[in-house]
Structure 1
Amino acid sequence: MLAAKYDVKDFDHFVPKRFDPKNLHPDLFIHAKLKDILPAVFKDDDHYRSLLGDLLSARLVKDDLDQALSDRDEVLRDFGAEIRDQADSFHHYFYNVLSLHPMTHPKTAQLISLGTIVAGSVGMHCKLLFERARPVQYWPGLLPVLPTPPHPSFPSNHATQAYTVAFLIADALGSPMDRGIGQYLASLADRIAVNREKAGVHFWSDSEAGRRLAQDVKDQLMAIPFVRDDLLAVCCEELADFATPAKSS
């Protein structure tokens, strides 16, 4: 037996004095912080009804279905591989746009995980609040290219998560969403959201609801000291090449 041959003290040189957070997957790092983050982010249900309720209408459903069916063969030929690649995690798309790796940009990677995990939680709450059916449940002939998730459609969590990440990073860098790196982050979020519509698993109005909800989630996150003073501040340092220079007074 190993224990009979060696004394515990013989293993002391194997025991680290501390665990470097950079070696922890950014998703796991954020999961450890959720008990303090989520209570500060969630609002009451009336808030979400006021924010998103106008997007739920029979007219929008018809318009959304018409849009989803438009040029479908061409869309799937051109975007099918990307749609499937983004079906689960899409962190790597933000990594690519920003030329980063979690080991070289740990706080930025954690910020991306923060946006996806927290926005996903708020988005799922709203899904169960509104309980909108999926496009294929309105129009079975749509034939989605991905398995339709067995939970409500509205809002799109891919949209909520992607826009939340884009808004957080753009704010950290002082970049507007229509210029500089902000426009590329916004374009990526748009593309991730629209790909879910092209796949046949979301309506346009699901994506728009996700964009609105993302702005709301971002505003709540920005008020949390850990997010503002730790993640966002260091993210700006890690991505200094993308930061918008401060205007001189």
Structure 2
Amino acid sequence: MSSGAEQSMFRVARFNSFVFQKMMDYSEDDFVAQNPGADHPEFWHADLQAHMYLRDFLERNPGWMDEYKMAAERGGAPAQQMSAKQLKTQTLHIIDATAEREGRFAEAIHQDDGNSAIGYWLGMIGVDPVRHPATYLMIRVARLIGEHVVMCLKGHYRGSRPSIVCPAIVPLFDPPATPSFPSGHALQSYLISNVIAGALLEFPQSSPPIKEEEPGAGPLYDLAKRVAYNRVVAGVHFPCDNEAGLRVAYQCFLHLKNIPSFWTDQDSLKARVQREFPHYAS
């Protein structure tokens, strides 16, 4: 069900009254349209329309969970599976990162909300949800699929947050009420950058990743890395949570590229994004 706040953005009250009926001059034969037009998906709210692509993703990749668990574990491990040495190293990284809090304070707090974080990509690319509905939808699809994947992985690993493991770490804000491993912000950030860089190959100085363990190049990936690292600075993630998110995002990207409606059809979402930004399309 859509939230009340979401509905209020797009809906206004309408009603039929007795006075309205008296104003109308119509016969019973003209009461309804004979050939009503289709309610085209492109007019859906992007958050809700994105579920169609999530459905395609799940149907086309039934074994994704096992594959993504292996990718996550190549990036690290949840706190309870680390050795004492690994846990000490990861914890010291977080404590050292707190020195950067002053310069990243407002940014880290703003990005804690997923919708606010998406605004950084919209601003970098120059996306207006009204003028660029396909590009906006692609970003929302990446966020939704990333969220679904990461929550399933978090539920499997149930990794403790850093401040639970080490009380000396005082988070910048209350940690989310979800497990720590892998990082959702990292997975979603890199996945958004992956699909945009993959669709818009001429985006300045940017290119999608060619290896699981490495991000792509350019400002889209600088942004993803910064958003992910801000979670370490804030004390709500271990660095290895981000590494796991990076690797899983790469596997998600590979699977998304095999979905016809998203990537390979003539009128796929990718093709529509390229028509919106022809100067960035190859």
TM-score normalised by the chain length of structure 1: 0.85
CA deviation after TM superposition for structure 1 residue 240, in Å:
2.2
Whether the 8 Å contact between 1:166 and 1:185 is mirrored in structure 2 is yes
**Root mean square deviation, CA, Å:** 2.6
1:48 paired to 2:63: no
Give the one of 137, 161, 166 matched to 1:134: 161
Which residue identity does 1:93 align to in structure 2?
Y
1:205 paired to 2:240: yes
1:105 paired to 2:143: no
1:41, 1:108 → 2: CA distance? 23
1:104, 1:49 → 2: CA distance? 38
Question: Which residue in 1 is equivalent to 2:110?
Answer: 85
CA deviation after TM superposition for structure 1 residue 107, in Å:
0.7
1:151 paired to 2:178: yes
1:183, 1:97 → 2: CA distance? 12
Mark the runs of 5 or more structure 2 residues left unpaired by the alignment.
1-14, 210-215
1:173 paired to 2:173: no
Question: Which residue in 1 is equivalent to 2:222?
Answer: 187
Whether the 8 Å contact between 2:162 and 2:237 is mirrored in structure 1 is yes
Aligned residues between the structures: 239
Larger radius of gyration: 2
Which residue identity does 2:51 align to in structure 1?
H
CA deviation after TM superposition for structure 1 residue 21, in Å:
4.7
Give the one of 40, 47, 54 matched to 1:34: 54
Whether the 8 Å contact between 1:42 and 1:122 is mirrored in structure 2 is no
1:68 paired to 2:103: no
1:25 paired to 2:60: no
SS at 2:152's partner residue? Answer: helix
Distance 1:71 1:95, change over 3 A: closer
Distance 1:150 1:17, change over 3 A: same
CA deviation after TM superposition for structure 1 residue 36, in Å:
2.9
TM-score normalised by the chain length of structure 2: 0.76
Question: Which residue in 2 is equivalent to 1:225?
Answer: 260
SS at 1:70's partner residue? Answer: helix
Deviations 1:178-224 (A, max 9, x none): 8xx95111111101110111111111100010000000011111101
1:189, 1:215 → 2: CA distance? 13
SS at 2:279's partner residue? Answer: helix
Distance 1:32 1:46, change over 3 A: closer
SS at 2:159's partner residue? Answer: coil
Whether the 8 Å contact between 1:22 and 1:103 is mirrored in structure 2 is no
Deviations 1:156-188 (A, max 9, x none): 01110010111111111235248xx95111111
Which residue identity does 2:228 align to in structure 1?
A
Whether the 8 Å contact between 1:22 and 1:102 is mirrored in structure 2 is no
Distance 1:48 1:31, change over 3 A: closer
SS at 1:142's partner residue? Answer: coil
Distance 1:2 1:51, change over 3 A: closer
Whether the 8 Å contact between 1:41 and 1:221 is mirrored in structure 2 is no
Structure that is richer in helix per residue:
1
CA deviation after TM superposition for structure 1 residue 43, in Å:
2.7
Whether the 8 Å contact between 1:83 and 1:199 is mirrored in structure 2 is yes
Which residue identity does 1:38 align to in structure 2?
L
Give the one of 160, 170, 186 matched to 2:187: 160
CA deviation after TM superposition for structure 1 residue 52, in Å:
2.1
Give the one of 152, 167, 171 matched to 1:125: 152
